[in-house]
Amino acid sequence: MRIAVIGVGLIGGSIALAARERLDVEVAGHDASREALELARERGAVNRVCDTVADAVSDADAVFVAVPVGALDPAVGEALAAASSDCVVTDVGSTKRAVVAAHADPRFVGGHPLAGAETAGMQHARADLFEGATWFLTPTPTTSGMLYERLHRLLRSLGARPAAIDPETHDTILATVSHLPHVLANVLVAQAARALAAGDERLPATGPSFRDATRVAGASSAVWTDIYLSNRDALADEIDGMIARLGEVRDVLLAGDAQRITAWNDAAATDRRRLLEAQLAGGPLFELRTSVPNRPGVIAELALELGRAGVNITDMALYPAADMSEGVVALWIAGEEPARRAEELVGRLGFPVARA
């Protein structure tokens, strides 16, 4: 297998390192920074340094576009223009609606690994960055099922957990769990800095809660300005919701209502525990097999239906019939209850399904 990585920063460099170490495949790299490319070669992340996107992707089986969100659209377009008809192209951007809408190509699958660090650049890339990390994929009705399966398997090989999601839902969720925390961290440090300027000399001795809450404050503007702007409508909605909730807390505090304050705090503990349990859910693997017609979008339909129900596909495989008119899709689901729900959901779509 040949892989091309466009942009060898923290994420792209880590993809390249993981592919080289885990799969021992050939990796071609391209980056606007020659220094980053040379470092990628020195660290063994890439076999081949390429001066152009076209050169990097010309013979690739899979392409990862790992450039800043603001540069994704043209970079993905350039990769698709040079890629073969049997090459899957994906990106790693933190927002998905714009890039997916711009590229209705069967070879393109929008992606976003939930992995990273406060540091940036090839010098901080590491092969284990995606170990156990959720990697969102946004297949559409035009997505090639065969190429989606290839990408899904490749990401599993890199240590990630692929999960299908539609672009609209992705951007709404990320506005809440990723982009809003960055906004709040920036606001918190600004508020603390103003208090310090007002003469509160005790402020520099901050506690762990402040340090934890502001860990992502001031993250790289080269990355985050594009993210804020590309998801500004969803992020603005979340900020409005946060303002409303803060107003409610303010009113309860001023009223001195201890019972409501306790209930509010206890509810937060319950919500946090529920969210963490959802992330850690697993269990034994169950294999489901379903027969589907060979038509555009059928794999995306299956993956998104399960994704919307919170059922994660641990692994998958396609077995097309000899005449390519239909095929069998094997799905591996972790946990008895998720497997049961998956069986019901696939059946509701009208496809025969059985446990293997």
Torsion of CA 148, 150, 151, 154, to 10 degrees: 160
For residue 91, give the amino acid letter.
D
State the Cα–Cα distance between residues 242 and 61, nearest whole angstrom.
44
**Terminal alpha carbon distance of the chain:** 30
Burial class (CB in 10 A: 0-12, 13-18, 19+), 280: exposed
Q: How does 111-129 read in b/e, with b if 16+ C-beta sit within 10 Å?
A: bbbbbbeeebebeebebeb
Cite the DSSP H helix spans in 58-144: 72-82, 97-102
Q: How far apart are CA 105 and CA 77, in angstroms?
A: 10
pLDDT of 323: 80
Which pLDDT belongs to residue 39? Answer: 96
What's the Rg (C-alpha) of the chain? 22
Q: What is the pLDDT of residue 194?
A: 83
pTM: 0.82
| DSSP reduced 3-state for 59 | coil
For residue 333, what are the contacts with CB-CB under 8 A and spacing of at least 6?
Answer: 285, 286, 288, 311, 312, 313, 314, 339, 342
Tens place of pLDDT per residue across the chain (356 aa): 999 999 999 999 999 999 999 998 999 999 999 999 999 999 999 999 999 999 999 999 999 999 999 999 999 999 999 999 999 999 999 999 999 999 999 999 999 999 876 678 899 999 999 998 999 999 999 999 999 999 999 999 999 999 999 999 999 999 999 999 999 999 999 988 887 776 655 555 567 788 888 888 998 888 899 999 999 999 999 999 999 999 999 999 999 999 999 999 999 989 887 776 665 555 678 899 999 998 888 998 999 999 888 888 888 888 888 787 888 999 988 888 889 999 999 999 999 998 87
